[in-house]
Amino acid sequence: MPDKIRRLKSYEFPLAVEWAAIEGWNPGHADAEVFYNTDTEGFWGAFDKQGLAAVISAVQYSSDFGFVGFYICRPDRRGSGLGYRLWQTVLEDSVLKTIGLDGVIDQQDNYRKSGFEFAHRNVRYGGVVTANVDTPDDLFTLAVDDIAIVDAFEQSCNLFPESRIEFLRGWIGNEKHTALALKGPKGLRGYGVIRPCQEGHKVGPLFAENATDAKTLFAALLQSRKDQSGKVYLDVPEPNQAAVDLAKAHQMTPEFETARMYKGDSPKLDLGMVFGISSFELG
Residues 175 and 149 reside in one and the same domain:
yes
Domain boundary among 78, 100, 122: 122
Q: Are residues 168 and 111 in the same domain?
A: no
Distance, CA of 197 to CA of 225 (rounded, Å) = 12
Mark whether 151 and 272 lie in a shared domain: yes
* Percent of the chain at pLDDT exceeding 70: 99
* Domain limits for position 238: 124-255+266-276
- Which pLDDT does position 202 carry in this prediction? 98
3-state SS, 84-107, equals HHHHHHHHCCCCCCEEEEEECHHH
Count of domains forming the chain: 2
- Structural domain includes residue 231: yes
Residues 104 and 147 in one domain: no
Here the CATH number for the domain that contains residue 39 is 3.40.630.30
Give me the numbers of helices (H) and strands (E) for the chain, helices first please.
Answer: 8, 13
Q: Is 283 a member of any domain?
A: no
List the CATH number of the domain containing 180.
3.40.630.90
Domain boundary among 76, 91, 122: 122
Q: For residue 26, which phi and psi values (nearest 5 degrees)?
A: 55, 60
Ramachandran region of residue 212, left (φ > 0), alpha (ψ -120 to 50) or beta? alpha
Q: What is the pLDDT of residues 140-159, one digit of tens each?
A: 999 999 999 999 999 999 99
User: 117-140 pLDDT, tens per residue?
Assistant: 999 999 999 999 987 777 888 999
User: Tell me: the pLDDT tens digits for 18-57?
Assistant: 999 998 899 999 999 999 999 999 999 999 999 999 999 9
What is the number of other CB atoms lying within 10 angstroms of the CB of residue 161?
24
Same domain for 205 and 79, yes or no, is no
Q: How confident is the model at residue 1 (pLDDT cuts 50, 70, 90)?
A: low
